[in-house]
Amino acid sequence: MKLELRGITKRFPGVVANEGVDLVVQPGEILGLLGENGAGKTTLMNVLYGLYQPDEGEILLDDQPVVFNDPGDAIAAGIGMVHQHFMLVPVFTVTENVMLGVESVSGPIRILDRAAARKRILEISERHGLRVNPDALVEDLPVGVRQRVEIIKTLYRRSDVLILDEPSAVLTPQETEELFGVMRSLVEGGTSIIFITHKLNEVLEVADRITVLRRGKVVGTTTPPETDKEKLAAMMVGRDVHLTVEKAPATPGDPMLEIRDLVVRDERGHAAVDHLDLTVRAGEIVAVAGVQGNGQTELAEAIAGLRTVDSGRILLEGRPIPESPRGVYAAGVAHVPEDRIEEGLVPGFNVAENLVLTGYWQPPYARGLALERDRIAADAGESIAQYDIRTPSAFNDIGNLSGGNQQKVIVAREFSRPVKLLLAVQPTRGLDVGSIEYIHARIVEKRDDGAAVLIVSTELDEVLGLGDRIAVMYQGRIVAILEPEEASLERLGLLMGGAHPEEHTAEELAAAAPGPRPEAPPS
Amino acid sequence: MTDRLIGVARGLLLPVLAFFTALVFGAFVIIFSDPRIVAMWTTDPLGAIGASWSAVMGAYGALIRGSIGDPVRLFGAIVALDGDAVRASFRPLSETILSSTPLILTGLAVALAFRAGLFNIGAEGQLQIGALTSVLVGFSITGLPMVIHLPLALLAGAVGGALWAFIPGILKARTGAHEVITTIMLNYVAYRLVDYSLKTPLYQREGRADPVSKFVEPSAVIPPIIEGLRAHWGIVLSLLAAVFVSWLLFRSLRGFEFRAVGLNPQAARYAGMSIGGTIVLSMMIAGALAGLAGATVVLGATRVLTPGMAAGTGFDGIAIALLGRGKPAGVVAAGFLFGALRAGSTPMQSATGIPIHLVVVIQALVIMFVAAPALVRAIYRIRAERALGTETFAKGWGG
């Protein structure tokens, strides 16, 4: 089915989210929709999916104008959407999730006909290589498989146009490759796909055409052979961007953070960090790569004093690290937490209050039982200027800032004092190219000031760009430590998937990515 | 400064409109609860309109005269230099101040806990326990000068309320028991504890079979502002408490922690704050405020403790905190409003025959309209961006 958007304009009070957007997706085509956060990608897709009504412009399906008043209309017209955050019921089986809302029923009292649904699911999954067990509970499935369930859901509803919103954000490189295979199989069958992303290499790899949005407008449409990463980034940001992190070779000093035989348990009592050893020296950046859920979160929380250490030791400058978050802070550790809104900031507090969230309890911000509000306001003004935080004033609610500016607030707070160790978990997740460039530069600056830096990231570009050494974490252990020169995307991907560090073959690639996770390799 | 004024005006817009709307709805309640007027609609519609108008104006006029007073009468009394008449014309205002005193304190008790993410339904029980402990200190100690005895009795009320609130606080901090459940249940326990205590020789007045406490010693009685009127200096205590809560929340380290925990406990933990400690401390301070409310009732208004005394004051505190948007100044304003409604309801009933329960209906409607800002906006066609009625001061119920 051919989909066309003509002159779509969507205004919200005070902002124009989309302005005269024209977009065409031909049958059997993958259109990459590229843009920074806040460029209007999501608004545009919500217009297409019937969640918003456009103020101007029209939607055409096979050259016929259509109006979608709600997602039901869009689904009925053959548009399917896979959201970034999955819309699945964890305690339902795959079959139940897929049929939810379009249940097949049989008999006079309309009993659910799971068998019929199951049969169609198996057909769809076979045709497009979407391997999934229809009887498995969704809560037991890894993220990659959950995504397949979401795609099956849309196909089950006979979608001709599929919208994928940042589908690779949660996947390993191998899982991403597999997703691309599915996407290619789908377009061969005549489905059109809109692939929303901010990852340049992915869009270059899989898209037939690429449309770039900036500030709500289409800045251009191009094809992969005509363009490259630098050109696309410049289109997105509106200026030239340094995609590679610029840094001098590290000059490592003495060990600053030493982790010895560390065991940390998760909420269910499993050893999420399983006898892990790692050393970070002053003046170097160690980047921990790994698929989400391999113990990185627990490792970072243990260092930060937020999670109890089961056994083993964490040493800072040779001494045991304090066991409370405040003790760790006072010992000179800066911590950029994994989730800025859930953990790093208090929405409802203003920018100034968030800037002192971790340091409010000591001078110069505290005097006796009272807060030094004048000092807090004055320092906030300075941080806003120094870290280029875009906010109307220091007294605006942090929740109203963009993701990039929120992260700058955390960076300003954590970097504005001399630190021995900088612990940054997913420091650029969900940020646009310009903000990533900025935050990377600040991290390198901290390293050059002599801090030991430990980065935990699932973004391989970030790991490769920032790390002076790269530690691959798999099932609670560091399975390999690589120099950046010896670490390729492919090799990292294999190691993250659990392949043996020494040798890796095509067979292992196939074995490592899908299906049940293999046992941890002996270390 | 002008920015702040605009902010205050914006903050007031919604509660004021909610109150006005509630009065309009209340007017319909007055009209349709009068069988005479309802009957007139079919026979004499014009007359019915006139009768409706006079019934509504009569009721609301009596309500205002009963809560604020009659300026003409006051002016006449002053001109005539008649001291007793002046005092009498101040009586409605005095009654409003008297009712507002504990309402402001329980409103603060709910608002403070709410800032820390806790829904304190237990101000009612904390007030009862505060009354119980302060009346005990009030009647059992004799021979102390007032400067020692009165503060001691007030302190006893605050401590009693704080200890009562400590129970749900520690239960939540240690076991995660939801404070809504525990505080509601403790309200019942508090009521019955008061009933029981008043039957014990320690509390029960000699020679009485009914549950009534001994009289508070004169040295522990909060003196009236004007001799002969019931309003007492407890109102100053309430206002000082509001100033204290404002300082605590917005200018102190503890308040920073309360608000951070209330808005995002996970970030508070990341920042090194103690979630459990904050829960317990905020509940205890809230309990102290509610306990103080109980103390002002037994030491100022009644001078004895009886079962069911000041019942509902703690629950009204929830409404007042909501209407005051969790801000101490807003709580003071809402407390005076509810105090005025309470004080004016009895004169209204005696003057017009409209039952005092109309006031309860109006109070309930005010809260409904405050709780549903979208409804008020729709009625008055205010755009959401300007009205700013949905400021979050805590996330959910802290569950």
pLDDT tens digits for A277-334? 999 999 999 999 988 888 999 999 999 999 999 999 999 999 999 999 999 999 999 9
Q: Is A338 inside a domain boundary? A: no
* pLDDT value of position A523: 39
A406 contact B CB<8A: no
Would you call A348 and B392 a contact, using CB atoms and an 8 Å cutoff?
A: yes
Shortest Cα–Cα distance, B256 to chain A (Å): 8
Q: Which residue has the tokens 């405040």?
A: A326
- pLDDT for res B397: 38
Domain of residue A406: give its range.
345-417
Q: Find all residues with CB under 8 Å of A172, minimum gap 6, and list them.
A: A144, A291, A493, A496, A497, A513
Q: Is the pLDDT reported for residue B234 higher than 80?
A: yes
Whether residue A348 and residue B395 make contact (CB cut-off 8 A), yes or no, is yes
pLDDT tens column, A39-93: 888 889 889 999 889 999 999 999 999 999 988 899 889 999 998 778 899 999 9
pTM of the model: 0.81
Read off the pLDDT of residues A297-312 as tens digits, 9 standing for 90 and up: 999 999 999 999 999 9
> Any bridge partners for residue A461, and if so which?
none
**Residue of B3, B246, B249, B256 for testing the chain A interface, max A β-carbons within 10 Å:** B256
Which amino acid, one-letter code, is at A64? Q
Asked if A157 and A93 sit in the same domain, the reply is: yes
Report how many Cβ contacts below 8 Å link chain A to chain B: 67
Task: Give yes or no for B272 touching A (CB within 8 A).
Answer: yes
**A392 near B CB under 8 A:** no
Interface touch B267/A343, C-beta < 8 Å: yes
- Option in B263, B266, B385 nearest A349 (CB): B263
Do A498 and A435 lie in a common domain? yes
CA distance B396 to chain A (A): 13
Whether complex ipTM tops 0.95:
no
**Final residue of a domain: which of A417, A435, A466?**
A417
pLDDT of residue B383: 64
Query: ∠ at Cα A491 (A488, A492), nearest 5°?
Result: 85
Query: Which of the two residues, B84 and A345, has the higher pLDDT score?
Result: A345
Instruction: Count CB-CB contacts under 10 A for residue B123.
Output: 36
Chain B residue numbers touching A349 (CB-CB < 8 A): 259-260, 263
**In sequence order, what are the beta bridge partners of B273?**
none
Confidence of residue A509 (pLDDT cuts 50, 70, 90): very low
CATH of residue A190? 3.40.50.300
Determine which of A328, A339, A346 to mutate to test the interface with B (most B C-beta atoms within 10 Å). A346
Q: Are residue A380 and residue A356 in the same domain, yes or no?
A: yes
**Which ranges of B68-122 does DSSP label H, i.e. alpha helix?**
71-79, 83-115
Contacts of A361 in chain B (CB under 8 A): 253, 272
Q: Provide, as residue numbers in chain A, all residues whose Cβ is less than 8 Å from the Cβ of B377.
A: none
Q: Judging by DSSP bridges, how do beta strands A319-320 and A311-316 pair with one another?
A: antiparallel
Closest CA to B297 of B148, B144, B120, B160: B160
Distance between B269 CA and the closest CA of chain A, angstroms: 8
CB contact under 8 A, A348 and B393: yes
pLDDT cut 70: percent of chain B above it: 95
Which of A177-186, B147-156, B364-373 is the least confident region? B364-373
- Do A212 and A248 lie in one domain? The reply is no
Residue B256 and residue A360: Cβ atoms within 8 Å? yes
pLDDT at A231 exceeding the cut of 50: yes
Rg from Cα positions in chain B: 23
Average pLDDT, chain A: 88
Asked if A357 has any chain B CB less than 8 Å from its own CB, the reply is yes
Question: Quick one: A258 exposed, middle or buried, by C-beta within 10 A (0-12, 13-18, 19+)?
Answer: middle
pLDDT band at B355 (very low <50, low <70, confident <90, very high): confident
Residue A510 has pLDDT above 50, yes or no: no
pLDDT in tens, A466-489: 999 999 999 999 999 999 888 888
Q: How far is CA A214 from CA A21, A35, A40, A83, A205, in A?
A: 11, 6, 7, 21, 21
The pLDDT, as a whole number, for residue B399 is 31
A515 inside domain: yes
Nearest neighbour of A346 by CB, restricted to B253, B264, B383? B264
Residue B268: what residue type?
A
Q: Say whether residue A335 is in contact with chain B using an 8 A CB cutoff.
A: yes
* B269 close contact with A: CB closer than 8 A: yes
Q: Are residues A206 and A133 in the same domain?
A: yes
For chain B, what is the mean pLDDT? Answer: 90
**What pLDDT is stored for residue A513 in this prediction?**
46
User: Are the beta carbons of B260 and A346 separated by less than 8 Å?
Assistant: yes
Q: Domain ranges for chain B, please list them.
A: 2-387
Nearest CA distance, A346 vs chain B (angstrom) = 6
Instruction: Return d(Cα A463, Cα A32) in angstroms, integer.
Output: 25
Hey, is the C-beta of B260 within 8 angstroms of any chain A C-beta?
yes
Residues A409 and A427 in one domain: no
pLDDT at B384: 53
Residue A500 — very low, low, confident or very high, per pLDDT cuts 50/70/90? Answer: low
Mean pLDDT over B117-127 rounds to 96
Residue from the list B253, B263, B272 with its beta carbon closest to the beta carbon of A358: B272
| Alpha carbon distances (Å) from B227 to B91, B221, B232, B233 | 11, 13, 9, 11
Is B382's Cβ below 8 Å from some Cβ in A? no
User: Touching check for B264 and chain A: CB below 8 Å?
Assistant: yes
Helix then strand count (H, E) for chain B reads 17, 0
Q: How confident is the model at residue A7 (pLDDT cuts 50, 70, 90)?
A: very high
Minimum-distance CB partner of B254 among A304, A306, A369? A369
Listed range (A339-343, A366-370, A448-452) with the worst mean pLDDT: A339-343
Highest mean pLDDT among A200-214, A430-444, B172-186, B341-355: B172-186
Closest-CA residue of B relative to A370 is B252
Residue A246 sits in the same domain as residue A275: yes
Nearest residue of A to residue B385 by CA position?
Answer: A13
Residues of B whose CB is below 8 A from A352: none
Residues of chain B contacting residue A345, judged by C-beta atoms under 8 Å apart:
264, 267
Alpha carbon separation from A50 to A47, B215, B254 (Å, rounded): 5, 71, 47
Cβ <8 Å between B270 and A304: yes
Domain end, chosen from A179, A211, A237, is at: A237
Res A269: pLDDT? 87
Q: What architecture is the B2-387 domain classified under in CATH?
A: Orthogonal Bundle (1.10)
How close B326 comes to chain A (CA, Å)? 14
Chain A residues with CB inside 8 Å of B254's CB? 369
| Per-residue model confidence as pLDDT tens digits over A109-167 | 778 888 888 999 999 888 888 888 999 999 888 888 888 899 999 889 888 999 998 88
Q: Is the pLDDT of residue B15 over 90?
A: no
Give the per-residue pLDDT at A430: 73
Closest Cβ–Cβ partner in B252, B270, B392 for A343? B270
Q: Is A515 an 8 Å CB contact of chain B? A: no
> Domain check: are A172 and A54 in the same one?
yes
- The answer to whether A473 and A295 are in contact (CB under 8 A) is yes
pLDDT of B335 higher than 90: yes
DSSP A501: S
pLDDT at B398 > cutoff 70: no
DSSP structure string for A23-37: EEE-TT-EEEEEE-T
pLDDT score of A391 more than 50: yes
Of A294, A251, A255, A336, the closest CA to residue A472 belongs to: A294
Residue of A nearest to B260 (CA): A346
pLDDT over 50 (residue B178): yes
Indicate the Cα dihedral angle A335, A340, A343, A347, nearest 10°: 130
d(CA A418, CA A359): 13
Task: Look at residues A172, A194, A199, A169 and name the one whose alpha carbon lies nearest to residue A183.
Answer: A194
Indicate the residue among A373, A396, A417 that finishes a domain: A417
Express each pLDDT in B265-304 by its tens digit: 999 999 999 999 999 999 999 999 999 999 999 999 889 9
Same domain for A427 and A350?
Answer: no
Measured between CB atoms, does B244 come within 8 Å of chain A? no
What is the average per-residue pLDDT within B377-399? 53
Residue A337: inside a domain, yes or no? no
Q: Is the per-residue pLDDT at A173 higher than 80?
A: no
pLDDT at A382 over 80: yes
Q: Inspect the interface and report whether the beta carbons of B251 and A371 lie closer than 8 Å.
A: yes
Whether A492 maps to a domain, the answer reads yes
Q: Under 8 Å CB-to-CB from A75, ≥6 apart: which residues? A: A157, A159
CA nearest to B394 within chain A: A348
Residue B392 has pLDDT above 50, yes or no: no
pLDDT for A522 equals 43
Mark whether A388 and A427 lie in a shared domain.
no
C-alpha to C-alpha distance for A451 and A465, rounded to whole angstroms: 18
| A109–B contact, CB cutoff 8 A | no
Residues with Cβ within 8 Å of residue B301, at least 6 apart in sequence = B98, B230, B232
The pLDDT score that the predictor gives to residue B373 is 78
Total number of domains in chain A: 3
Q: Which residues of B touch A300 (CB under 8 A)?
A: none
pLDDT of residue A21: 93
Q: Under an 8 A CB cutoff, do B260 and A335 touch?
A: no
Considering only CB atoms, A369 lies closest to which of B253, B263, B268, namely B253
- Which range has the worst mean pLDDT, A76-80, A497-501, B336-340, B371-375? A497-501
Comparing CB atoms, the residue among B256, B270, B395 nearest residue A337 is: B270
A369 touches chain B (CB under 8 A): yes
Contact A344 B270 (CB under 8 A): yes
Query: Which of B247, B248, B270 to probe by mutation at the A interface, max A CB count within 10 Å?
Result: B270
A259 and A233 both lie in a single domain: no
Using a CB-CB cut-off of 8 Å, the residues of chain B touching A337 are 270
A10 shares its domain with A141 = yes
Over 70: is that where the pLDDT of A258 sits? yes
Structure tokens at B219: 């040295």
Residue B392 to chain A, least CA–CA distance (Å): 7
Q: Residue A32 above 80 pLDDT?
A: yes
Residues 6+ apart with CB under 8 A from A168: A176, A179, A197, A199, A202
Nearest-CA distance A316 → chain B (Å): 19
